[in-house]
Amino acid sequence: MSERYAYVMMIREKWWNEFRRLNRAGKTVHSYVRKGPAPPKEANLIFFYVVKPVGEIQGYAEFQERLFGNAEELCKNFGHESCLESKDAYYKLMKGGQKATFIRFKDLQEASKPVPLNNLLTMLVTNKIGRKGFYVNKEIAHKLIRMME
């Protein structure tokens, strides 16, 4: 069983709400943009942990790929998949950074029952989680999906 089956990604509430809005509008492929190199490099699924004040896993999607490289080129080729409304918003996010990561995913699923942080910590048998996210194995990933249904 792969220990890197799924990745739990930290995401701000404003970006999560934008992905939800775009998904409901019919957009099927999305890109989450980060300045510099960012995980995951490989996974089957991405879980979206919406950080404070929410503190819940609020959905998941099928991981497509992670693209890392020249910020300008990635914006030109994949910027339409992000939830940034303009190139100006993209450049503001990059704050002059020359390299960017686009985390591409599809089939976004919103949880009907979001998983609170305490439940996640109990499942992982820990009292804290990584600030940039972390991988989980297939068993944990399927438990999370069942908890969200």
Q: Which residues contact 130 (CB under 8 A, 6 or more apart)?
A: none
Supply the pLDDT for residue 92: 78
Which of 47-61, 63-77, 84-98 has the weakest average pLDDT? 84-98
Q: Is the peptide bond before 53 cis (omega within 30 degrees of 0)?
A: yes
The domain 6-148 is classified under which CATH number: 3.40.50.10710, 3.30.420.40, 2.30.130.30, 3.50.50.60? 2.30.130.30
Q: Residue 80 carries which DSSP code?
A: G
Supply the pLDDT for residue 44: 97
Supply the pLDDT for residue 45: 98
- The residues pairing with 31 across neighbouring beta strands, listed in sequence order, are 104
Whole-model pTM: value is: 0.91
Mean pLDDT (the chain) is 91
Supply the pLDDT for residue 140: 94
What are φ and ψ of residue 128, in 5° steps?
-155, 160
Question: What would the mean pLDDT of 72-81 be, rounded to a whole number?
Answer: 90
Supply the pLDDT for residue 1: 47
Supply the pLDDT for residue 108: 97
Q: Hey, where are the domains in the chain?
A: 6-148
Convert the pLDDT of each residue in 14-60 to its tens digit.
Answer: 999 999 999 999 999 999 998 889 999 999 999 999 998 899 999 99
Q: Greater confidence, 79 or 62?
A: 62
